[in-house]
Amino acid sequence: MAGITIESITKSFAGVTAVDNVSLTIEDGEFMVLLGPSGCGKTTLLRLIAGFDLPDSGRIAIGDRDVTDSPPGRRDIAMVFQSYALFPHLRVSDNIAFGLRMHHVGKDEVTSRVREAAELMGIEALLNRYPTQLSGGQRQRVAVARALVMRPSVILMDEPLSNLDALLRLQMRAELKHLLQDIKTTTVYVTHDQVEALSMGDRTAVMRDGAVLQCASPMEVYDRPGDIFVATFIGNPPMNIVRAVARDSVVKVEGVEVALPEASNLPAGTEVSIGIRAENIEVHTEALDGALPATVAVIEPLGSHLLLTLAVGAESIKASVRTDFAVKRGDPLWLELRQGSVRLLGSANQSGPSD
Amino acid sequence: MSAAIRRPRRRATPQRQLAYAAAGLITAFMLFPLYLIAVAALQPRTAVFDYPRALYPSPFSIESMAFFLNATGILPALGRSLVIGVMTVVLALALGCPAGYAVARYRFAGRDLVQLLIVSVRAFPILILAIPLAVTFINWNLYDSVLSVALVHTVMALPLTILLAASVFLRVPSELEEAAMSMGTSRFGAVWRIVLPLSRQGLGAAALFAFVLSWNEVFAAAVLTVRNPTLPAQIVGALGQSPLPFRFAGGLALTLPALVFIFFMRPYLFSAFGQARS
C-alpha cells in the first residue's frame, strides 16, 4: 500500500507534448480517476506511472520510493489494459500465475493465491480455459484477477470497461468499485467516460492538452467546475454556459440580475461566463421577479425527466423538468436560477471544449 | 498452439470454380516436370530412353536411385547438405530474430536505412560475394568446410528472415510484452516467454525459407568447397560426365527432402503469407 507522488512530469513524443508539467498527489488507498477526451494525455500519464514510458523531466514516487527510472517490474504496480492483454498461449490459471512465477513465489502459494483471486472475480470455473475461449466480460475478470493476485501497491487501469457492452459495463462498474473499496489498494483509473469518473472515483483529475485542469472529488468537479471546459465536459447535459456582465456579487444575464453565491472581485461591467446545471433551474409558467424569460425550443422526454432546450435572448439554456410538466414547443417560460448554484467561470472569451 | 484453421463453407460460385481451375493449372505446371523426373528416376535405367514417355513408373525400379546413392561422394554430400541446412536455419534465426525485433519494436536513428541495407544484401550477385569470401575462408582455414557454406547461406537467408521475423513480431501486441514486464520480467524475459511462443508459426516459415534456400543453393557451395561439396554442388559437378538416369535420380534426391520439409512446415508457410491465424 502506498500513495503516488507525481512532480512536474513532462513527456513529449516527436515534438508533441503529451503530458505537460503535471503534478499530482494520490493518497494511499485512494481511487483516482484520470478523465479527459482522447488525446488529453491521461493514458500517457498512466504509462509514465507504470514505467512503460519514461518522462522527459519530473519525478514519480510510489510510497516513499523514487521510481522515476525504475522498470515497470520493480514498481510494485499491476496494470489492467483496455485490451486486457491476456497471454493467448497460456491458460487462465497460468495467466494469473505469471507474475507470481516471475517473482519466484513458491508453487503451493501460487496455487492458493491464483485460486483466491479467481474466487474473488468469480472465474474459478474458467481456470483451465484459454483466453480465446472466453467472452469479453470473462476476459475482463481474468485481467483484473491477474492484477489483484500480485497484491500490488498500486493498481493501474486503462479504460478497463470500454470494450464491454453497455449492460455489462454498468454491472462491472459497480462490482469493480465494490472490490477496490474492499481491498483498499491505491488505484489510478483512466477513462473518457464521465459517468465512470463520477461514480467510481474518490477524486477525479480532469485533463486536457496534457494538463490537469481540476482535481477534486467527483461531486466537487460536477458542482463547482474549475473552468468552462470541465463544466461542459462533465455532466449530461453539460453545464449551461451563459454570458453575463458582472456587477459586485450580481451578474446581469440578458438584462436580468442574478445573484452569485460568493462575491466576485470583478470590476463592474466585466464580461463573464456563468454556469448553471440543468437541474438547478426552476421553470415557471408565469412571470416571476428575477426570472429569465424564455421560449421552449426543443422538448426531449428522457424517461425520468423532460429535457427542455430554451431560448433566452441569444442564449440557449437546457433545463430539466418533471415528466408531467405540461409544455409545448414555443411556450413562454420563466427560468429561476436556484440560489447558490450559479458558478462564475471566468471571462467570456475563454474557450469552450475543443471537441 | 492454435486450433485448426476453420474456414466458413462457401458455395462454389463460378468465380471460385475459376480460381480453383487456375490454381490447379499453375500447380500442375509446377509439379508436372517434378513428376516426370520422379517417374524417370524410379524406372529401370533403360526405360529412360523410351518414347513416348511413361506416365507412371512401369516397371517400378529403384535401380537408378540405388546407383545414384551408391555413387562416390553422394551420401556424404547429402549429409553435408542436411547439416548445412540445419546450421543455416539455426544461425539465421539466432541473428534474424533480434534484428527483426529491433526493426519491429524500436524507433532508432537510421532505422529506415538499416531496413534498406538488409534488403540490399540480396542485390549483390553471389558471384561477387563468393570469390572474396573463398579467399577469406582460405585465410581463416575455413575453406572447404561445412561452416563456411553455412555462413554464406546464412547471409543469403538473413534478409528474408529479418523481414519475416519483424512482421511476425509486429503481430504480437506490445501490450502483451508490457503486461509481462509489469509483472516482473525484463524485456528479454517478456520476449522469451510471450513473444517467441506466439511467433512460432511465422518463425517456422522463416526457418523453412532458410532451409530451402540452403538446400537449393549451388553456386556459393560449389565455389567454397572442393573435396566436401554439398549435394547440389556434387550433382552439378558430376552432371557433365554422368548418364541420364543418374541425373534424374539426382533430381529426385534433391527435390524430395525439400518437399518433405515443406510438407511438415506447411501451416507455418501459410501464416507467413498472411493467412489469418485463429
Q: What is the mean pLDDT of residues B188-194?
A: 94
- A73 and B197 within 8 Å at the Cβ level: the answer is no
**For residue B100, is it within any domain?**
yes
Q: CA dist A277 to A198, A224, A349, A351, Å?
A: 15, 10, 20, 19
The CATH number assigned to the domain holding B78 equals 1.10.3720.10
**Using the beta-carbon criterion (under 8 Å), do B183 and A81 form an inter-chain contact?**
no
- Please check whether residues B83 and B49 belong to one and the same domain: no
Residue B243 domain flag: yes
**What average pLDDT does this structure show over B16-41?**
90
One-letter amino acid identity for A135?
A: S
Q: Is residue B68 part of a domain?
A: no
Question: Which of A 39-78 lie inside 8 A of B, CB atoms?
Answer: 50-52, 71-75, 77-78
| Total domains present in chain B | 2
Judge whether B66 lies within some domain: no
Q: Which member of A52, A88, A150 has the closest CB to residue B178?
A: A52
Tell me, yes or no, whether B137 and B190 share the same domain.
yes
Burial (CB count within 10 angstroms: exposed 0-12, middle 13-18, buried 19+), residue B260: exposed
DSSP A126-180: GTTS-GGGS-HHHHHHHHHHHHHTT--SEEEEESTTTTS-HHHHHHHHHHHHHHH
Confirm whether B199 is domain-assigned.
Answer: yes
Q: For chain A, what percent of residues have pLDDT higher than 90?
A: 72
Which residues in chain B are contacts of A51 at CB distance < 8 A? 182
For residues B100 and B46, state if they share a domain.
no
B238 at interface of A, judged by CB pairs closer than 8 A = no
Residues B156 and B265 in one domain: yes
B84 within 8 A of B144, measured Cβ to Cβ: no
- Mind telling me how many Å the CA of A137 is from chain B's nearest CA? 19
B88 shares its domain with B32 = no
| Identity of the residue in B178, B183, B186 whose CB atom sits nearest the CB atom of A98 | B183
- Give A41 or A354, the one with higher predicted confidence: A41
Instruction: Work out the pLDDT band at B1, boundaries 50, 70, 90.
Output: very low
DSSP state of B194: I
Residue boundaries of the structural domains of chain A:
4-233, 240-279+292-347
- What is the pLDDT at residue B127? 78
Q: What are A118-138's pLDDT values in tens digits?
A: 999 999 999 999 999 999 999
Interface test with B, best of A89, A139, A157, A158 (most B CBs within 10 A): A89
- Give me the pLDDT at residue A228, please: 92
In-domain check, residue B124: yes
Q: Give B179 to chain A, closest Cα distance, Å.
A: 7
| pLDDT in the model for residue B191 | 94
Find chain B residues with C-beta within 8 A of A98's C-beta: 180, 183, 193
Say whether pLDDT at B192 is over 60: yes
Kindly state the DSSP code that residue B49 receives in the 8-state scheme. Answer: G
Residues B104 and B230 in one domain: yes
Residue B203 forms contact with A (CB below 8 Å)? no
Residue B45 lies in a domain: yes
What is the span of the domain harbouring residue B193? 73-272
Same domain, B230 and B122: yes
pLDDT band of residue A345 (cuts 50, 70, 90) is: confident
Residue A231: is it exposed, middle or buried by C-beta count within 10 angstroms (0-12/13-18/19+)? buried
Q: Which residues of A touch B175 (CB under 8 A)?
A: 81, 83, 85
The interface predicted TM-score (ipTM) is 0.83
Does B57 share its domain with B78? no
Judgement on whether residues B204 and B132 belong to the same structural domain of the protein: yes
Confidence band, pLDDT 50/70/90 cuts, at residue B177: very high
A52 to B181: CB separation less than 8 angstroms, yes or no: yes
Q: Residue A76, by phi and psi: left (phi above 0), alpha (psi -120 to 50) or beta?
A: left
The answer to whether residue B67 sits within a structural domain is no
pLDDT at A1: 62
d(CA B9, CA B23) in angstroms, rounded, equals 19
CA B179 remoteness from chain centre: 35
In words, the CATH class of domain A4-233 is alpha beta
Query: B75 pLDDT exceeds 70?
Result: yes
Give CA separation, A331 vs A52, A159, A296, A301, A313, in Å: 57, 43, 5, 16, 14
* B45 and B86 part of one domain: no
Q: For the residues of B196-245, what is the DSSP string, one character each?
A: HHHTHHHHHHHHHHHHHHHHH--HHHHHH-SSS--HHHHHHHHHTTS-HH
Residue of A nearest to B178 (CA): A52
* Candidate from A72, A146, A150 with C-beta closest to B178: A72
Q: Is the pLDDT of residue A349 over 50?
A: no
